[in-house]
Amino acid sequence: MKGKIFFPAMLFITLNAAAQVAYSPSPENLKAREWFQDAKFGMFIHWGVYSVLGDGEWVMNNQGIDKQTYQKLPAFFNPIKYDPREWVALAKAAGMKYITITSKHHDGFAMWDSKLTDWDIVDRTPYGKDVLKMLADECKKQGIKLFFYHSHLDWFQENYFPRGNTGQTSGRPESGEWYKYLDYMDGQLKELLTGYGDVAGIWFDGLWDKKDSDWRLDRTYSLIHSLQPACLIGNNHHLAPFAGEDFQMFEKDLPGQKTTGFNPEQKLGELPFETCETMNNSWGFNLQDKNYKSVKTLIRYLVRAAGYNSNFLLNIGPMPDGKVQPEFVTALTEIGKWMGKYGETVYGTRGGPVTPRSWGVTTQKANKVYVHILNPEDNNLLLPDFGKKVKAITHYNTGAKMKFKQDAFGITVSVPEESLDDIDTVLIMEL
């Protein structure tokens, strides 16, 4: 790895120099990327010992809890109602095709039976079971793919030193061996990639905590791809993708939209996209957060994401007893009903020929373009010309033929008031 930094073009980009050099994705990996883009909709799960406090996954940092005190938490984590069958069934009922669960969040706690530490669910909690293994087995049974969210950032390990911008109150000594930490992280990833069946992807997060460090991404990414070539690597570093990554993610934002402040430097790459969002305002279980987004808002986010050629990863933060809060279950079930009806216009599509507009988005599959009108602005909709002859336009719900005209100015289609749907009015344009 070190030798690569002599490459003049890379000298000034520390992280690029550390990424998987000369990465050429395997055929299995390319196939997995296609699958990923077709799948479109996944369930994000933030679950850990922090859930006990009902104050989100950043509670250790935000409440300034030191390591000593935080270690009391696992004793209260006893999710006796955890039933992976229910979780997977819920994801499927919502129309989701994959699950991405936190194997380790920033508190460093391993949600599987790690042999490299006792800071894990089997060694420290009264529950004593490997919840990831249980979930992996169930996903396999129910035919849904599993990704692991894995935090680079670790507020617990002493070797995570020099420390980054967060976790300053954890009470760790002012010393540590950085490369030992990276060895430990790679060792844990190896456990996940060798003991849990096919892992559809690793979703990294937390690199932004120390973005100028030598993260040795080359070694980590190569390890993952050598163990499971089809495993898709994504990294929520909020920058343009590095070599060795297989998809690009956006947090609480559609690709290229820098509305949240998370992604100011983020550039769009060529890889498949995914955007993630919360159902209220929290990732990990938050007892007081009642800011639930409506089903309509969430469906529209999913549709917009598809129009931006992106997947949508929608988060739940299960409760410490292992149940998913009823508000989430209800909303996901409703979304699933909508997907049952409109799935054709989302799954297997790519961003359509008309780029996202204020009125909505387009998606496309073969010779069909799905026009999703989310904010109708007029009774006539003008689509810019995209160089293809339109044969017919029909209303997705009713099958009614829509009046339209195609000329040098584009395609004008009449969308009368009575044809509008409150969530999404979909028209099929046949090319």
- Residues 156-195, one symbol each (x = binds ligand FHN by CB under 6 A, - = not), give ----------------------------------------
For ligand FHN, the closer CB: 135 or 374: 135
Q: How many residues bind ligand FHN (CB under 6 A)?
A: 8
Q: Please, which residues bridge with residue 41 across strands?
A: 312
Query: Residue 374 CB, nearest distance to ligand FHN (Å)?
Result: 24
Determine the angle formed by the axes of helices 217-227 and 178-195, rounding to 10 degrees. Answer: 10
Residues 120, 245, 246, 251: which binds ligand FHN (CB under 6 A)?
251
Query: Residue 151 CB, nearest distance to ligand FHN (Å)?
Result: 8
Spatial contact of 77 and 320, defined as CB atoms under 8 Å apart: yes
Distances from the Cα of 410 to the Cα of 384, 401, 417, angstroms: 5, 19, 22
Residues 114, 236, 263, 311: which binds ligand FHN (CB under 6 A)?
236
Query: Residue 58 CB, nearest distance to ligand FHN (Å)?
Result: 6
Residues 338 and 377: their CA atoms lie apart, in Å, by: 23
Residues 120, 205, 245, 253: which binds ligand FHN (CB under 6 A)?
205
Neighbours of 384 (CB within 10 A): 11
Residues 10 and 272: their CA atoms lie apart, in Å, by: 24
Residues 92 and 42: their CA atoms lie apart, in Å, by: 9
For ligand FHN, the closer CB: 21 or 65: 65
Regarding 276 and contact with ligand FHN (CB under 6 A), the answer is yes
Q: Any idea which residue has 């044809």 for tokens?
A: 419
Sheet of strand 410-414: strand arrangement: 380-383, 410-414, 404-407
Mark residue 216 as left, alpha or beta (left: phi above 0; alpha: psi -120 to 50; beta: remaining): left
- Residues 278-317, one symbol each (x = binds ligand FHN by CB under 6 A, - = not), give -----x----------------------------------
Query: Residue 101 CB, nearest distance to ligand FHN (Å)?
Result: 11
For ligand FHN, the closer CB: 123 or 289: 289
Spatial contact of 411 and 385, defined as CB atoms under 8 Å apart: yes
Residues 351 and 370: their CA atoms lie apart, in Å, by: 10
The encoded tokens of residue 132 equal 């990831």
- How does DSSP classify residue 231? P
Spatial contact of 290 and 280, defined as CB atoms under 8 Å apart: yes
Regarding 200 and contact with ligand FHN (CB under 6 A), the answer is no
For ligand FHN, the closer CB: 57 or 191: 57
Q: Any idea which residue has 């190896």 for tokens?
A: 190
Query: Residue 276 CB, nearest distance to ligand FHN (Å)?
Result: 5
For ligand FHN, the closer CB: 188 or 282: 282
Residues 368 and 349: their CA atoms lie apart, in Å, by: 9
Regarding 235 and contact with ligand FHN (CB under 6 A), the answer is no
For ligand FHN, the closer CB: 45 or 369: 45
Spatial contact of 311 and 40, defined as CB atoms under 8 Å apart: yes
For ligand FHN, the closer CB: 151 or 349: 151
For ligand FHN, the closer CB: 301 or 347: 301
Of 54-73, which residues contact ligand FHN (CB under 6 A)? 57-58
For ligand FHN, the closer CB: 245 or 251: 251
For ligand FHN, the binding residues (CB under 6 A) are 57-58, 205, 236, 251, 262, 276, 283
